[in-house]
């Protein structure tokens, strides 16, 4: 087990290293730089722009910039944001927390909703319920996320049922403690609803299809024969056996906890990483983009590790050898 | 026998659906890029079978705001069938025959018009031709890649697995927007229609394999250790046989589900590529660039007929889901 | 003549003096400005939606429009450009005097003014401020404004309330420069400046107590990604006609919305009070409901959108295709034909929903002081376009496509920023228009910075749609676009001397107007320059959008202007009518 963990760790470090390297390469290959848009301002001279670029080291060679970046990682700064004129780590904490909050709630809801839906619609295959679930999931799969998001927001605006944008109301500080909580919850409703509508169908479809496969397996028939039936059979025996793709999916959604909601955050004005990263990407505030990719990679490592462990736990077949087999 | 019964209905619907888009030139009343700048955002015309001489079988197309125009007589006009209009080519043949049309200065807009007064129906038909091809091909590419890599990783295990899953992880987290920007900068300014098509399929297909690969790897990982697979291996069955006969069929469910998910996603993804100048660009229609307009709040709430590409996409996706489900059921029943 | 001009400049000053007529002032300081606008009501919180988050509160390093808009609430300058009249007027400087050679500006500062932390303001703050702005090590984006003829403007203190600015050579309307230079508090920033820490000062995370300015508000709270809250500056130096100290508002809140549409939705939902720079579609959306809003179309903005052909010097080995096509682009009659074929009315109608104005020159009618209204507005004519093309050797092949004198068919691409849907629409309309001349035009949408890299660095484009303007309305702000060695001389960058006779003439006129102090004479020179530009079409001008704004009915003294910041330029006088606050908290 120790060797296994050591190998996982080594791989994680290697992956992070590769991500950072690739990021630097890509950001160098892409055209445009941070100070490009002030070139359009006739009142700023090219000399000024050149000095600004030199100040932030934008004209240095790639290896040198990478070395500087590694140095800042060692200091815990994770690079320097040109736009905000501040170390990236200071910039990212608060938004990362907000994104994590949004992602966590979404993920919880997604799985809470989709597991029973999938299992029941597989159990009662071709029933009215199953057909309804099937129709709804294929509907929400095919509507692009952003159209869904704008549509839902339009509804919120017109019905005045939900606040539009942000995480707290302007008068947030004057609210009592429970008022604060409910204010955040109300602001969260729209983004969470969009993310759940987008996320649930994918899980339902995969889980339903694998539960269906297991339901016809001999051991289920045998269990039925032994008098094990109903919910106990479904959730205790069938579900774990059918969990395989769902677990991979779970790992992926854990990995996407920080990055899966970016678009929705931008559209709904949630103060998470989404608006920050989009802004930084378009503005070529490269260190922020690299840091975001590193964060996503870290989440990916955690997510996949969790998925592999779960796969091991749920599917005893994989457990033949040591955990090294994974 | 069983196969035919399970599959023929959704398959027939899909064939008809695709055939419709293939015959876009015949079905579309106008050229997809033809602008009528006096009629931006015209709502769909409606039809009446009651003309000045009472009831008749020929439908009359009426402008939506006929009452507002005040001139009841001229706002309804007869629809003619099999009319000659603008030139299009279909499978190498040039023709100007169209299913329907209205006398020249008038315009019929069954699904309304867009911001430039272009006919939405014509654009939807021509856009569908491109977008469905993109969606299907890109899905095929990414699933084939995912299948190859996922099976290899899951079956081989050990360092192969480490390397390939590591690669997939890398793929999922790297900021691809910069890759797209760099790619755009390396390509010539103007890309021909066929180059754009190949590019879109290539880019979407090659960026989309990492997620399905994770799923397939998981399934293969587990399938490898099943008793009958172990038994077959014990009997000295070669790897290729094992993969083909036993392991590949078990990934069928995941593959089909993924395919049904990915087709609509990839159709919409083309719009995102357009942002970087890699997608289908004006004035050529695609569902992607038609859907992109719906991101604008004002369009979404003011002009409901602009939603038609989304509806068409839903129809496509629902039928593919239906087919996938039937196929899966057949696969299951045939494997037992 | 010159005296008259100076008198004109002084008129607003005199007016202010008349208004601030004697009488027992309830306010401590003696030299506060009083305004004759409607007296408002105190109290309330005005919420304003911003397109993006500000990046810094440091006026010296701020580059983006959003940061500057926020800083506008915190800081004030010596001389202010009145956004309504587009004329300069006294601010912290109560008057200024220009020497007859135009080289010396003597500014008299108001006495008894205090920063928002209660510290007094005097000439030392001004000297410190300009030391920082002109410091090469700080390298402020505004530094270039203060460098005239290669030499920074010299500042010296004559007494505690008088400063002298010395220019290296005459510069027309130099006092307008002061408008974009916020005065800094020496007592806070001098030490960090000495320690070389100035660039790190006043980031968004700075505690409010460390920031002080002379603007109507001061910082109260910053919530990353959400909003920035400003509160009333109790020491603000302006008062209303009833001699009550401004501003009326208790708080000014900037809310950050991710997108244009999000900003609109927040306004529609009643979460924000003011929204500026609406696009036409969103304006109509609000107009249709119109309940509780005041919507205003302020007429044409000063922005001008144009189609630009690549006339740069290219080595034909690197970009052979573009270099080949430049033979067409360099041909004036080709550009004139393109201009004649473009349906500008359709652009205004479709891209701007009719809320815009077609352009044939570089100065929009929104720039009231400088527009040359004699520039012809020819009707769109495909006939004229064909004649022009024919006369310069183009012909049409059997299938109707245009071929150049060498027999090659005319096909080129128009690059356009994919994030700007109006310009995308323009490109699509132009594509259709030019197809009627037999030209095959390809629209190439590019991400904005990638597009700028093509335009400014590798010149890898054939034609591009861009927009400029929107800053100061004065022609000097545009110098670098029109003089041939300018940094934004877009159609031919890196030119050291004018390539054509008309460019030489344009250089002469632009440089001449910069040295001319008399408005009428400057106007005549700039009129000629506009005429040359419109005739020779280095850019094919397209259209300018109207400035569209909206506010809740409850917002009083709402007098938006064409120049930025459109709605908040008089934020010190904005107020909320009673009951408005109640309505929102519901």
Mean pLDDT of B247-255: 83
- pLDDT value at residue C17: 38
SS (H, E, C) B175-211: CHHHHHHHHHHHCCCCCCHHHHHHHHHHHHHHHCCHH
Instruction: Tell me how far apart the alpha carbons of residues C293 and C299 are, in angstroms, rounded to a whole number.
Output: 18
Instruction: Tell me how far apart the alpha carbons of residues B82 and B254 are, in angstroms, rounded to a whole number.
Output: 46
3-class DSSP state of B309 = helix
Asked if residue B283 has a cis previous peptide bond (ω within 30° of 0), the answer is: yes
Establish, for the pair of chains A and B, how many residue pairs have beta carbons separated by less than 8 Å: 169
- Residue with the two structure tokens 């390397």: B163
- Nearest Cα to C401, choosing from C431, C372, C428, C436? C436
- pLDDT value at residue C435: 94
- Average pLDDT over all residues of chain C: 87
Query: C481 to chain A: which residues are within 8 Å by CB?
Result: 42
Query: A170 to chain C: which residues are within 8 Å by CB?
Result: 45, 47, 227, 253, 255, 271
Query: A84 to chain C: which residues are within 8 Å by CB?
Result: 55-56, 203-204
For residue A139, give the nearest of B265, B295, B318 by CB distance. B318
Do the chains contact at C425 and B116, CB–CB below 8 Å?
yes
- pLDDT value at residue B190: 86
Instruction: Tell me how far apart the alpha carbons of residues B199 and B190 are, in angstroms, rounded to a whole number.
Output: 13
| C507 vs B96 pLDDT, higher one | C507
Give, as one character, the DSSP assignment of residue A137.
Answer: H
- pLDDT value at residue C376: 93
Mean pLDDT of B233-252: 81
Do the chains contact at B179 and A26, CB–CB below 8 Å?
yes
Largest interatomic CA distance in chain A: 84
Q: What percent of chain C has pLDDT over 90?
A: 59
Stretch among B235-244, C157-166, C231-240, C421-430 having the lowest mean pLDDT = B235-244
- Nearest Cα to B281, choosing from B271, B295, B296, B291? B271
Q: How many separate helices (H) and strands (E) can be counted in chain B? A: 16, 5
Query: A94 to chain C: which residues are within 8 Å by CB?
Result: 224-225
Residues 6+ apart with CB under 8 A from B230: none
Which residue of chain B is at minimal alpha-carbon distance from A144? B268
Do the chains contact at C444 and B282, CB–CB below 8 Å?
no
Instruction: Tell me how far apart the alpha carbons of residues C458 and A295 are, in angstroms, rounded to a whole number.
Output: 34
| Alpha helix stretches (DSSP H) within C184-331 | 186-194, 260-268, 280-289, 320-329
| B233 vs B113 pLDDT, higher one | B113
Pairing status of strand C79-81 against strand C88-90: antiparallel
Per-residue buried b or exposed e for B56-79, using 16+ beta carbons within 10 Å of the residue's own CB: eeebbbbbbebeeeeeeeebbbeb
3-class DSSP state of C570 = coil
Mean pLDDT of A63-78: 91
Query: A142 to chain B: which residues are within 8 Å by CB?
Result: 264, 313-314, 316-318
Closest-CA distance, A173 to chain B, in angstroms, reads 31
Establish, for the pair of chains A and C, how many residue pairs have beta carbons separated by less than 8 Å: 164
Q: How many separate helices (H) and strands (E) can be counted in chain C? A: 16, 26
Do the chains contact at A48 and C468, CB–CB below 8 Å?
no
Torsions phi, psi for C41 (to 5 deg): -110, 145
Do the chains contact at B317 and A317, CB–CB below 8 Å?
no
The two three-digit tokens of residue A32, written as one number = 């445009």
Give, as one character, the DSSP assignment of residue B45.
Answer: P
Most confident of A9-18, A161-170, A262-271, C532-541: C532-541
Instruction: Tell me how far apart the alpha carbons of residues B191 and A117 are, in angstroms, rounded to a whole number.
Output: 46
- pLDDT value at residue C14: 38
- pLDDT value at residue C27: 46
Instruction: Tell me how far apart the alpha carbons of residues C81 and A185 are, in angstroms, rounded to a whole number.
Output: 45
Which chains, if any, share at least 3 CB pairs under 8 A with chain C?
A, B
For residue C269, give the nearest of A40, A160, A275 by CB distance. A160
Residues 6+ apart with CB under 8 A from C368: C86, C473
Do the chains contact at A244 and B222, CB–CB below 8 Å?
yes
Q: Is the pLDDT of residue B210 over 60?
A: yes
Instruction: Tell me how far apart the alpha carbons of residues B58 and C360 are, in angstroms, rounded to a whole number.
Output: 49
- pLDDT value at residue C161: 93
Give, as one character, the DSSP assignment of residue C352.
Answer: S
Residues 6+ apart with CB under 8 A from C136: A51, C143
Per-residue buried b or exposed e for C557-576, using 16+ beta carbons within 10 Å of the residue's own CB: bbebbbbbbbbbbbbbbbbb
Q: Is the pLDDT of residue C400 over 60?
A: yes
Q: Are B73 and B91 in contact (CB under 8 A)?
A: no
Residues of C at the B interface, defined by Cβ within 8 angstroms: 261, 264-265, 279, 281-282, 284-285, 321-322, 343, 346, 349-350, 411, 413, 415, 418-419, 421, 424-425, 427-429, 431-432, 442-447, 450, 453, 460-462
Q: Is the pLDDT of residue C35 over 70?
A: no
Mean pLDDT of A241-247: 80
pTM confidence score? 0.89
The two three-digit tokens of residue B208, written as one number = 């989309």
Confidence of residue C495 (pLDDT cuts 50, 70, 90): confident
Instruction: Tell me the pLDDT tens digit for each residue of C40-90.
Output: 889 899 999 998 889 999 999 888 888 999 999 999 999 998 888 888 889
CB-based contact (8 Å) between B282 and chain C? yes
Closest-CA distance, B138 to chain C, in angstroms, reads 22
Instruction: Tell me how far apart the alpha carbons of residues C175 and B57 are, in angstroms, rounded to a whole number.
Output: 77
CB-based contact (8 Å) between B286 and chain C? no
- pLDDT value at residue C32: 56
Query: C418 to chain B: which residues are within 8 Å by CB?
Result: 274-277
- pLDDT value at residue B159: 82
Closest-CA distance, C318 to chain B, in angstroms, reads 12
Query: A10 to chain B: which residues are within 8 Å by CB?
Result: none
Do the chains contact at B35 and C432, CB–CB below 8 Å?
yes
Which residue of chain A is at minimal alpha-carbon distance from B314? A142
Question: ipTM score of the complex?
Answer: 0.88
Direct distance between the N- and C-terminal alpha carbons of chain A, in angstroms, rounded to an integer: 11
- pLDDT value at residue A319: 54
Asked if residue C565 has a cis previous peptide bond (ω within 30° of 0), the answer is: yes
Do the chains contact at B35 and C429, CB–CB below 8 Å?
yes
Q: Is the pLDDT of residue B70 over 70?
A: no
Closest-CA distance, C191 to chain A, in angstroms, reads 20
| C378 vs A174 pLDDT, higher one | C378
């Amino acid at each position: 087990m120790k060797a296994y963990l050591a190998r996982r760790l080594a791989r994680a470090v290697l992956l992070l290293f590769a991500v950072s390297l690739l990021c630097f390469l890509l950001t160098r290959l892409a055209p445009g730089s941070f100070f490009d848009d002030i070139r359009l301002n006739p009142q700023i001279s090219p000399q000024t722009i050149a000095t600004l670029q030199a100040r932030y080291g934008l004209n240095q060679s790639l290896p040198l910039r990478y070395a500087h970046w590694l140095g800042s990682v060692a200091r815990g700064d994770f690079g320097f944001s040109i736009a905000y004129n501040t170390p990236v780590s200071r910039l990212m904490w608060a938004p990362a927390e907000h994104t994590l909050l949004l992602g966590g709630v979404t993920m919880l809801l997604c799985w809470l909703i989709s597991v029973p839906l999938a299992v029941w619609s597989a159990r009662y295959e071709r029933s009215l319920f199953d057909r309804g679930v099937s129709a709804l999931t294929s509907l929400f799969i095919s509507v692009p996320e952003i159209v869904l998001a704008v549509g839902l927001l339009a509804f919120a605006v017109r019905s005045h049922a939900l606040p539009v944008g942000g995480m707290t109301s302007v008068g947030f500080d004057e609210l009592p403690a429970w008022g604060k909580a409910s204010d955040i919850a109300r602001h969260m409703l729209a983004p969470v609803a969009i993310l759940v509508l987008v996320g649930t169908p994918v899980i339902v479809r995969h889980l339903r299809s694998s539960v269906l496969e297991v339901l016809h397996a001999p051991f289920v028939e045998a269990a039925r024969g032994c008098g094990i039936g109903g919910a106990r059979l479904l959730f205790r025996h069938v579900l774990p056996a059918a969990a395989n793709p769902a677990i991979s999916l779970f790992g992926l959604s854990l990995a996407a906890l920080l990055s899966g909601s970016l678009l929705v955050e931008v559209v709904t004005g949630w103060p998470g990483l989404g608006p920050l990263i989009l802004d930084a990407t378009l503005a070529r505030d490269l260190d922020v983009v690299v840091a975001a990719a590193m964060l996503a990679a870290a989440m990916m490592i955690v997510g996949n590790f969790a998925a592999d462990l779960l796969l091991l736990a749920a599917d005893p077949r994989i457990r033949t050898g040591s955990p090294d087999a994974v | 026998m069983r196969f035919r019964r399970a599959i023929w209905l959704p398959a027939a619907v899909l064939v008809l659906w695709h055939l419709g888009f293939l015959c876009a030139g015949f079905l579309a009343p106008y050229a997809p890029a033809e602008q009528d700048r006096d009629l931006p955002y015209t709502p769909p015309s409606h039809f009446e079978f009651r003309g000045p001489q009472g009831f008749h079988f020929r439908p009359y197309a009426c402008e939506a705001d006929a009452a507002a125009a005040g001139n009841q007589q001229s706002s309804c006009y007869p629809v003619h069938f099999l009319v000659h209009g603008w030139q299009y080519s279909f499978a190498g043949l040039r023709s100007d025959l169209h299913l329907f049309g209205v006398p020249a200065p008038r315009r019929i807009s069954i699904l309304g018009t867009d911001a430039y007064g272009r006919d939405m129906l014509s654009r939807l038909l021509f856009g569908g031709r491109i977008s469905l091809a993109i969606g299907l091909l890109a899905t095929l590419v990414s699933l084939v890649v995912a299948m190859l890599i996922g099976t290899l990783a899951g079956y081989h295990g050990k360092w192969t697995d480490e390397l390939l899953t590591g690669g997939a992880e890398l793929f999922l987290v790297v900021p691809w927007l910069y890759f797209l920007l760099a790619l755009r900068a390396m390509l010539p300014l103007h890309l021909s229609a066929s180059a754009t098509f190949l590019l879109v399929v290539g880019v979407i297909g090659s960026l989309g394999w990492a997620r399905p690969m994770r799923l397939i790897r998981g399934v293969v990982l587990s399938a490898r250790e099943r008793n009958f697979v172990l038994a077959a291996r014990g009997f000295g069955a070669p790897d290729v046989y094992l993969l083909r006969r036993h392991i590949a069929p078990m990934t069928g469910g995941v593959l089909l589900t993924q395919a049904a998910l990915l087709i609509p996603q990839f159709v919409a993804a083309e719009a995102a590529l357009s942002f970087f100048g890699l997608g289908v660009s004006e004035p050529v229609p695609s569902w992607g660039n038609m859907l992109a307009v719906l991101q604008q709040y004002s369009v979404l709430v003011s002009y409901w007929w602009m939603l038609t590409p989304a509806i068409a996409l839903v129809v496509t996706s629902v039928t593919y889901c239906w087919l996938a489900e039937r196929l899966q059921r057949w696969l299951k029943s045939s494997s037992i | 003549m010159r005296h008259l001009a100076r008198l004109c400049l002084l008129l607003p000053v005199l007016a202010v003096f008349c208004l601030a007529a004697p009488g027992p002032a309830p306010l401590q300081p003696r030299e506060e400005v009083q305004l004759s606008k409607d007296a408002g009501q105190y109290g309330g919180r005005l919420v304003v939606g911003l397109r993006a988050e500000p990046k810094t509160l440091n006026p010296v390093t701020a580059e983006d429009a959003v940061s500057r808009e926020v800083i506008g609430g915190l800081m004030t300058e010596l001389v202010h450009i009145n956004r309504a009249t587009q004329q300069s007027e006294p601010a912290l400087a109560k008057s200024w005097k220009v020497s007859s050679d135009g080289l010396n500006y003597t500014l008299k500062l108001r006495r008894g003014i205090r920063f928002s932390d209660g510290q007094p303001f005097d000439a030392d703050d001004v000297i410190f401020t300009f030391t920082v702005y002109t410091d090469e090590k700080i390298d402020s984006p505004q530094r270039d404004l203060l460098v005239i003829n290669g030499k920074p403007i010299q500042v010296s203190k004559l007494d505690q309330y008088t400063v002298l600015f010395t220019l290296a050579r005459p510069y027309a309307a130099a006092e307008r420069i002061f408008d974009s230079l916020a005065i800094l508090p020496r007592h806070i920033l001098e030490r960090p400046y000495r320690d070389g820490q100035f660039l790190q000062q006043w980031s968004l995370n700075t505690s409010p107590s460390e920031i002080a300015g002379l603007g109507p508000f001061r910082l109260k709270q910053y919530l990353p990604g959400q909003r920035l809250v400003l509160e009333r500056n109790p020491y603000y130096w302006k008062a209303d006609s009833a001699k009550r100290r401004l501003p009326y508002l208790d708080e000014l809140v900037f809310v950050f919305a991710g997108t244009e549409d999000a900003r609109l939705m927040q306004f529609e939902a009643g979460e924000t009070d003011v929204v500026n720079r609406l696009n036409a579609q969103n304006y109509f959306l609000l107009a249709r409901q119109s309940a509780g809003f005041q919507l205003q179309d302020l007429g044409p903005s000063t922005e001008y959108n144009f189609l630009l052909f690549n006339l740069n010097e290219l080595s034909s080995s690197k970009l052979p295709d573009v270099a080949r096509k430049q033979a067409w682009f360099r041909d004036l009659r080709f550009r004139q034909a393109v201009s004649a074929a473009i349906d500008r009315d359709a652009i205004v109608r479709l891209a701007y929903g009719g809320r815009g104005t077609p352009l044939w020159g570089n100065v929009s009618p929104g720039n009231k002081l400088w527009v040359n209204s004699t520039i012809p507005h020819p009707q769109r004519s495909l006939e004229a376009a064909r004649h022009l093309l024919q006369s310069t050797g183009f012909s049409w092949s059997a299938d109707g496509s245009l071929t150049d004198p060498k027999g090659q068919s005319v096909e080129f691409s128009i690059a356009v920023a994919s994030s700007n849907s109006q310009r995308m629409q323009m490109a699509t309309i132009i594509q259709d228009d030019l197809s009627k001349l037999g030209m095959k035009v390809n629209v190439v949408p590019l991400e904005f910075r990638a597009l700028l890299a093509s335009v400014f660095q590798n010149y890898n484009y054939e034609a591009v749609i861009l927009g400029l303007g929107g800053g100061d309305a004065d022609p000097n702000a545009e110098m670098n676009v029109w003089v041939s060695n300018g940094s934004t001389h877009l159609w031919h960058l890196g030119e050291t001397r004018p390539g054509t006779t008309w460019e030489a003439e344009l250089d002469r006129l632009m440089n001449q107007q910069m040295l001319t102090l008399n408005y009428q004479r400057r106007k005549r020179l700039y009129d000629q320059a506009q005429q040359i530009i419109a005739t020779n079409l280095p850019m094919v001008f397209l259209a300018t959008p109207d400035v569209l704004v909206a506010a809740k009915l409850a917002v009083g003294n709402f007098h938006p202007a064409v120049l930025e910041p459109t709605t908040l330029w008089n934020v010190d006088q904005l107020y909320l009518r009673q009951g408005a606050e109640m309505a929102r908290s519901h």
